Amino acid sequence: MKHRHLLFYKPYGVLTQFTGETGAGRATLKDYINVPDVYAAGRLDQDSEGLLLLTSDGALQHRLTDPRYAHARTYWAQVEGTVTEEALRRLAQGVEIQGRKTLPARARALEDEPRLPPREPPVRYRKSIPTAWIELTLTEGRNRQVRRMTAAVGLPTLRLVRVALGALRLEGLEPGQWRELTAEELRTLPAAGGAKAKRGNRQRRKCIP
């Protein structure tokens, strides 16, 4: 059986599942993707946007979501406040959230506002407080981790967009669009048994921020 692997640009407000609560009226993946037997490898919160990988390969889905395996996830976060070198250093070294320190990450300030489609609904701004964009690359996926990390250093997140999963990038997609992975992109995915589990990470949660 030939598996299918899709990249999807999840819009703001869409649930990362194919079924929703009866009568809730919230958009789900079913409203955008009419492909049978594919499932999301990881999650994005309803109020987050960006790259989502869906696959019909259950073993691959497990390798990409099992917390024992370190797979890089890159986010652009629009934050409220002024980004300092000290805040970036703390984010990179790890901050304590929910009683546990985060793993080391890569953190940098974006010099220019990234070219992204407007969010619907738009972010609400406060004229008296500046905003900025930072890029964070994590190798763990705790619940609402990016938002909790930026809040811990005094930079509340206003908008959060996942722009990369390993070598897979968001470029070329608009919100609500999906496409099949290319042959080259497929070769970047972990082969069965090809990724080694990180020691001491067996209790990490599977939630993806």
Q: CA dihedral in degrees (105, 106, 112, 118; nearest 10)? A: -40
Within-domain flag for 30: yes
Within-domain flag for 121: yes
Within-domain flag for 105: yes
Within-domain flag for 204: no
Q: What is the pLDDT of residue 125?
A: 79
Within-domain flag for 201: no
Whether the predicted pLDDT of 17 surpasses 50? yes
Is the model more confident about 203 or about 60?
60
* Res. 203 pLDDT band, cuts 50 70 90: very low
In the structure encoding, which two tokens stand for residue 51, read together? 């790259």
Using DSSP, state whether 191 is helix, strand or coil.
coil
Within-domain flag for 48: yes
Specify the pairing of strand 96-97 against strand 100-101: antiparallel
Predicted model pTM: 0.88
Looking at the structure of the chain, the number of domains it has is 1
Residue 81 sits in which domain range?
A: 5-186
pLDDT 10s digits, 100-123: 999 999 999 999 999 999 999 999
Is 45 one of the annotated active-site residues of the chain? yes
Q: Which of 31, 45, 47, 66 is catalytic?
A: 45
Within-domain flag for 97: yes
Within-domain flag for 177: yes
CATH number of the domain residue 78 falls in: 3.30.2350.10
